[in-house]
Amino acid sequence: MTVIDTLIRDFNFSDAEKARKRMQRYIKMYPENDLHQYAQKIKREEEIELTKIQLRKELRSYPIKSKYLLEESCKIVNDDRFAEEFLNGQRDLFDKLISYLNGNRLFKLYNNDFRKVKIADNSVDVIVTDPPYPQKFLLLYRDLALFAEKVLKPGGSLFTMAGQSYLPEIMNLMNIPGLNYNWTLCYLTPGGQSPQLWQRKVNTFWKPVLWYVKGKSSRWLGDVVKSDVNDNDKSHHFWGQSLSGMSDLIKRVSRPGETVLDPFMGGGTTGAVCLLALRNFIGIEIDKEAFITAEKRLKEINRRITKS
């Protein structure tokens, strides 16, 4: 019996022939490497593929009327990371998705000052937002921190974009008990013509996204977010973010079926991404005109994704 035969017997691969060929190729290329470790890797990959098939099958067994929601959720469970987390025992991720698909969806918009809106304490998974940057709005960052500390679930995260000019003041203002600074993400905005900050003599191609946590986070994430080149859509709001950049951010920092809140909704880009990526969404916007634009945009997307 060769080493490969022994490994095939011990690992009980679901596709033994494929595993045999892979190991034969591997040992030819890397004779000095540990073949047992490679067999483990093949087995893990097989398990992930089988999990994806099982999850897709389970999804299709639910009476999901919307074609978009079904296709999108199949894409979600077809992701290696999702299947791997499921295999590692994190079944709640799948349960949240199923609950969302079964109609436990939250999509709520408020035309008000976020400080006056009643959101239940400890009810929000993630806040993703983009407050105004000029100096006269700085105090809003303190109120945002206080608001986040109340409404976030324990371990929940706040991701707020911030202008570079007043970063020290902003971080000072956001330093409140119960909400801990965790990291700064870099949100890249590549393109031909960058905004010029005359006072600081800077052409900028990125902005910081400050990450705060209520208590301690268990979330891992990469810290560079990227908008597509020259994706600079201002058709919904004068300060609007791009759909591509927000999509990258939301998908990094939240999971399908979770509740995302944006207290400075503007033209609704965060909401648009959340609806399309199967997240619950709560949006708040003080300005009537911006609110109407966002509401129209989001209701249209919601109608499109839920139709059968």
Which residues contribute to the site for ligand SAM (CB under 6 A)? 113-114, 130-132, 140, 236-237, 239-241, 263-264, 266-267, 269, 284-287, 290
Nearer to ligand SAM among residue 86 and residue 264 (C-beta): 264
Least gap, CB of 55 to ligand SAM (angstroms): 33
Q: How far apart are CA 125 and CA 54, in angstroms?
A: 27
- Residue 190 C-beta: closest distance to ligand SAM, Å: 18
Q: Given the complex with ligand SAM, which of 19 and 161 has the nearer CB atom? A: 161
Q: Which residues are CB-contacts of 305 (< 8 A; sequence separation ≥ 6)?
A: 66, 68, 69, 72, 275, 276
CB contact at 8 A, 250 and 273: yes
Which CB sits closer to ligand SAM, 11 or 239? 239
CB of 184 to ligand SAM, least distance (A): 18
CB of 220 to ligand SAM, least distance (A): 25
Whole-angstrom Cα distance, residue 33 to residue 47? 23
Q: Which is nearer to ligand SAM, 258 or 285 (CB)?
A: 285
> Smallest distance from the beta carbon of 266 to ligand SAM, in angstroms?
2
Q: CA-to-CA distance for 301 and 267, rounded, in angstroms?
A: 13
Residue 187 identity (one-letter amino acid): Y
When the beta carbons of 49 and 287 are compared against ligand SAM, the nearer one is 287
Nearer to ligand SAM, 46 or 287 (CB): 287
Q: How far is the CB of 179 from ligand SAM (least distance, A)?
A: 18
Q: How far is the CB of 175 from ligand SAM (least distance, A)?
A: 20
72/287 with CB nearer ligand SAM: 287
Q: How far is the CB of 121 from ligand SAM (least distance, A)?
A: 19
Q: Residue 107: what are its φ and ψ, rounded to 5°?
A: -140, 105
49 vs 295, beta carbon nearer ligand SAM: 295
Q: Which residue is nearest to ligand SAM (CB)?
A: 266
